Structure 1
Amino acid sequence: MSRKYFGVILTGFTFTVFLVFSLYEGSNLIDDPFEWPRSTPFTHLLVSNPVFPQDIVWLDFFVYAIKFYAVYPIMTLISAALLLGLTIQKMNKSKQVYSNIFGIFLGVIMLYTSLAFFSAQSLGSAVFRYTLLFIGLMLVLSASYSIFRYKTSKVQP
């Protein structure tokens, strides 16, 4: 493997490790059945009233970890954003404008997600929301600046 993809591989590995740690910390949800009505939105989409721990969807472990153990979910989010940024940078070599438009689209999705879906019920969810908001804003601004710089470098004086 060349050195060209070392950053992408390393970031993908750190993303996977932080995701596994987040899911492990979120598995404490199994021991807290009183939190099931508030911390299992994905389970309630599939099962109307979860009774057994086997009914809980693994995405709800991540939601629980965001609310109560926010360090690893935030590190997962940061490594995912870095992985997206490196992927967009690798795509940027051939089709610069299209990859930057894709970056703006992903940034807008992050901004919308942070504003629409995350309520500040706990400190962890508030920090996760503001981290998601900051990363989405940085992604939109950097991709917009790159498009602006690309368009102005093509203009002949």
Structure 2
Amino acid sequence: MFKFFFQLGVAMMILLFSTFVSWYEGSAIIDHPWEWEYSTPFTQLNGEIQNGNQISQLDYFVYAAKFHPTFPLVMLISFLYLLILVSFQVLNTKHFIYFLSFVAASLFFLSYLVSNSSTIGGNVFFYFSMLTGIVCIATTICMKFLGSKRETTA
């Protein structure tokens, strides 16, 4: 149980740190008005942007993911790790396989969303989500057909 809580704590600290750094890096969008049209999907839900103070905090993450993808990628990795770690601990094998399949489908959807991106961050997120989705599917296949040492209690 110590290993679980240690991993949980480390992953949460990495997630918090990478979230803060991504938010900081993304705040640079305020100084780049030519990007407002292309990198502010959340703010544009409320209408046209007149000045940088109107930009949603969520759009900072979009901008950071597009142009400074390192910490947003670390953020995604730590979030997925936390999600899978907790679900592996809580769910039985059958439900974990379903959950992992859902995670894979979500990653494939993410890769579809960023597949036409012309930015370095879009390409990084495309390949990462596609590869991670494939790994999740391969893991579910191995767990389903090769068996698992965990007991299934439905």
In which range does the TM-score fall when normalised by the shorter chain? 0.7 to 0.9
> Which blocks of at least 5 consecutive residues in structure 1 are unaligned?
none
Aligned to 1:58: 57
Structure 1 SS opposite 2:116? coil
Separation in 2, partners of 1:8, 1:15: 10
- Partner amino acid, structure 2, of 1:128: F
- Contact preservation (8 Å) 1:114, 1:132: yes
Separation in 1, partners of 2:144, 2:128: 24
Aligned to 2:145: 148
RMSD (Å), alpha carbons: 2.2
Structure 2 SS opposite 1:150? coil
Equivalent pairs counted in the alignment come to 151
Equivalent of 2:111, from 111, 114, 117?
114
> Which blocks of at least 5 consecutive residues in structure 2 are unaligned?
none
Aligned to 2:70: 71
Task: After TM superposition, give the deviation of residue 120 of structure 1 in Å.
Answer: 2.1
Equivalent of 1:138, from 135, 138, 153?
135
- Partner amino acid, structure 2, of 1:36: W
Aligned to 2:122: 125
Structure 1: 4+ residue segments shifted above 4 A: none
TM-score, normalized by length of structure 2?
0.87
- Contact preservation (8 Å) 1:77, 1:132: no
- Partner amino acid, structure 2, of 1:58: Q
TM-score, normalized by length of structure 1?
0.85
Separation in 1, partners of 2:26, 2:137: 30
